C-alpha cells in the first residue's frame, strides 16, 4: 500500500509540474526530455512543501500560497525549459505565461495535497 501511495504521489507531482506548460499541451511531446531539469526541480520542491504541510496537517487553503511562495523559482525554471525546448506554444514566453503556470500549479498542488491527506 505504501509503495502504491508513493507512486501516486510521484505521478501527481509529475502531473503538477507538467501542467505549467499549459492545459492544451499533451504530456508526451518529443521534446519533454529537454525540459526535464526544471521539472525535476519543481517536483522536488512541491514534494518537499506538500510533505511539510501534510506533517503539520495544514489546511488545504495554505497549499497554493505555500507552493507558489517556496517553489516560484523552480516553476519559472520549468516554464523556461518548456519554452526553450519548444514544448510550450510559440506565443508562450515566461513573462506572459507565468501567471497561468502559477494558477495551475496552485490548483494542482491543492488537489495533490487533498489526495495525499485523504489516502
CB 86 within 8 A of CB 59: no
Cell numbers that stand for 117 in this block: 491527506
- pLDDT-derived band at 108 (thresholds 50, 70, 90) equals very high
Q: What's the average model confidence in pLDDT over 83-109?
A: 89
Report the alpha-carbon distance of residue 79 to residue 5 in Å, rounded.
27
Q: Which residues of 8-26 are buried (b: 16+ CB within 10 A; e: fewer)?
A: ebeebbbebbbbbbbeebe
Nearest to 70 by CA among 82, 56, 53: 53
- What is residue 72's predicted lDDT score, i.e. its pLDDT? 96
Taking CA atoms, 78 is separated from 71, 103, 109, 114, in Å, by 10, 15, 15, 24
List the chain domain ranges: 2-21+33-118
The alpha carbon of residue 42 and the mean position of all alpha carbons in its chain are separated, in whole angstroms, by 6
Q: Could you report the per-residue pLDDT of 42-81, keeping only the tens digit for each?
A: 999 999 999 999 999 999 999 999 999 999 999 999 999 8
Straight-line distance from the first to the last Cα atom of the chain, in angstroms, rounded to the nearest whole number: 10
Report the alpha-carbon distance of residue 84 to residue 68 in Å, rounded.
22
Amino acid at each position: 500500500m505504501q509503495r502504491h501511495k508513493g507512486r501516486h504521489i510521484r505521478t501527481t507531482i509529475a502531473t503538477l509540474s507538467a501542467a505549467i506548460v499549459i492545459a492544451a499541451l499533451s504530456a508526451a511531446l518529443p521534446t519533454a526530455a529537454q525540459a526535464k531539469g526544471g521539472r525535476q526541480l519543481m517536483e522536488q520542491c512541491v514534494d518537499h512543501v506538500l510533505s511539510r504541510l501534510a506533517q503539520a496537517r495544514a489546511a488545504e487553503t495554505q497549499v497554493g500560497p505555500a507552493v507558489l511562495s517556496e517553489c516560484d523559482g523552480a516553476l519559472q525554471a520549468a516554464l523556461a525549459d518548456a519554452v526553450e525546448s519548444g514544448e510550450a506554444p510559440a506565443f508562450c514566453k515566461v513573462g506572459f505565461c507565468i501567471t497561468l503556470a502559477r494558477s495551475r500549479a496552485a490548483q494542482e498542488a491543492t488537489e495533490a495535497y487533498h489526495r495525499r491527506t485523504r489516502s
